[in-house]
Amino acid sequence: MVGAGPGDPGLLTIKGKHVIENADALVYDYLAAEPIVALAPPDCERIYVGKKAGAHTLEQDDINALLVRLAREGKRVVRLKGGDPFVFGRGGEEAQELHAAGIEFEIVPGVTSGVAAPAYAGIPVTHRDHNAAVTFVTGHEDVKKQLSTLDWSKLAAPNHTLVLYMAMGNLAAIAVELMRNGLAASTPIAIVREGTKPTQHTLVASLGTIGDELQRAPVAPPAIAVVGDVVRLREELRWFDRLPLFGKRVLVTRMASGSLEFAARLWEAGAEPILAPLIRIVPPEDPREIRRAVADAGAFSWIVFSSRNGVDAFWSELRARGRDARALGGTKIAAIGPKTAQTLAERGIVADFIPSRYVGESVAEGLLARTEADERILLFRAQEARDALPDMLRGGGRSVEVVVAYRAVRNEVPDLAGRVANSDVLTFTSAGIVRSFVAQLADPVAAARGKIVACIGPVTADAAKAAGLDVSVVAEEFTTEGLARALIAAPILR
């Protein structure tokens, strides 16, 4: 049973990440962020059991039975719950059901929204100059009922912070009850909706005015309410809603395995990534080329890797032969960019050459300066790659063998039109991704109208423009980190 935290996937614990990555079945809630769900293995059975007010995918008894059934099938089951499993959730009840069924379980605590949402709004729930205690309370209980389990006379204490979960339906009545029991009408209260997410919104009022504020502009759950003097610190300590991309929704179209790092960078800048992997990587149609090239790898002067996927394909074949980096002997290695070089370094290989601009033309120029005529060069690349690199090398008298290491094929994205419509920014990191985008939409130009289109470099930008898209942002450094920096710096996104 894993706490997913309140929304920002970066708040998932290291242990939570580990167990999700090794799950056979993932049973997850409404508040579990999409990038966290994406950590599960490709063959993991994903089952959504989210609950919203008045709309339950499954009733609690059915969820309990589902967990028991999956466990009895011998699967490693992760029950992924928003926030912390044991803080104002049904985690304790679910654990009791597992115990009664004789099923072993483990609890992985999560960051609870009662602490995280105020922190992201710049409100510390404790501060030595403002309060001596903090109490976490469910606001779901009707304050007018006869047998209330909450003693409002004790909760309405000065120099005390009150954090209310699930209180939106009763908050106006709770404010009246707190004032009736002694708290001043001027006591500040903050409501933090969608805490830790780029859609976060914070309303600050007082106990005396909050009822009118909510009548004028109701706040829908999920939201946390904070009552107490610490709310006054927000103007000094607010930080999250001042991030450069705060509130922007960014469509991330990279393949699933390469999107999480980029998505995490967007989260750090305050944006909400919307994952829509438009391509996937598959083996070449004829694997014999790879086998021959890897078997003869030591005979080449240089091997050029144009992506991390090429490195992965090469090393997979090398290991299948029971060999390692020693098979390269004195062969020199070129990497098209720092991420490809990093993937090589993870396998014990330091790239001999990385161009200053991460495109085929710059690789060719650098290799022509570093080699002699008739030297043999092996190029490991995608089937769809441009021919600029091998053509320039051959034009310079070099002997080039091009090997198709993998294919980037179209990946069908469910409700792509809806994901595009919900995005403010569309990002593209290859021409192939642009082609997949165009192929999956009835009218891609209309779908992109009014959106900010951002591309990883000029080659991708040219493909987008050729498709009729209006490109606003082009990264100067042709990496996802460079694309993130370009978005952060773009005046159009301010």
* Tokens found for residue 257: 């395995």
Asked if 30 and 63 count as a contact pair (C-beta separation under 8 A), the reply is: no
Asked if 450 and 472 count as a contact pair (C-beta separation under 8 A), the reply is: no
Q: What is the DSSP letter of 82?
A: S
Asked if 371 and 302 count as a contact pair (C-beta separation under 8 A), the reply is: yes
Using CB atoms within 10 A of its CB, is residue 368 exposed (0-12), middle (13-18) or buried (19+)?
A: middle
* AA letter at 137: V
* Tokens found for residue 212: 């009118």
Distance CA 360, CA 335 (A): 10
**Sign of the alpha-carbon dihedral angle for 268, 273, 275, 281:** negative
Marked catalytic residue, from 15, 17, 24, 29: 29
Distance CA 32, CA 13 (A): 13
Using CB atoms within 10 A of its CB, is residue 221 exposed (0-12), middle (13-18) or buried (19+)?
A: middle
User: Considering only CA atoms, which of 27, 36, 43 is closest in space to residue 6?
Assistant: 36
Asked if 31 and 7 count as a contact pair (C-beta separation under 8 A), the reply is: yes
User: Considering only CA atoms, which of 151, 159, 161 is closest in space to residue 226?
Assistant: 161
Q: Which residue has the tokens 């908050």?
A: 171
Length of the chain measured in residues: 494
Distance CA 378, CA 19 (A): 40
Distance CA 209, CA 195 (A): 22
Question: In which element (H, E) is residue 159 found?
Answer: none
248 is catalytic: no
- DSSP-based three-state secondary structure for 445: helix
241 is catalytic: no
Maximal CA-CA distance, the chain: 92
User: Considering only CA atoms, which of 262, 263, 281, 261 is closest in space to residue 436?
Assistant: 281
Marked catalytic residue, from 17, 51, 75, 465: 51
Respond yes or no on whether the N-terminal peptide bond of residue 222 is cis (omega within 30° of 0).
Answer: yes
Distance CA 319, CA 98 (A): 42
Asked if 207 and 227 count as a contact pair (C-beta separation under 8 A), the reply is: yes
Distance CA 332, CA 310 (A): 16
Ramachandran class of 266: left when φ > 0, alpha when ψ lies in -120 to 50, beta otherwise: alpha
Residues catalogued as catalytic: 29, 51
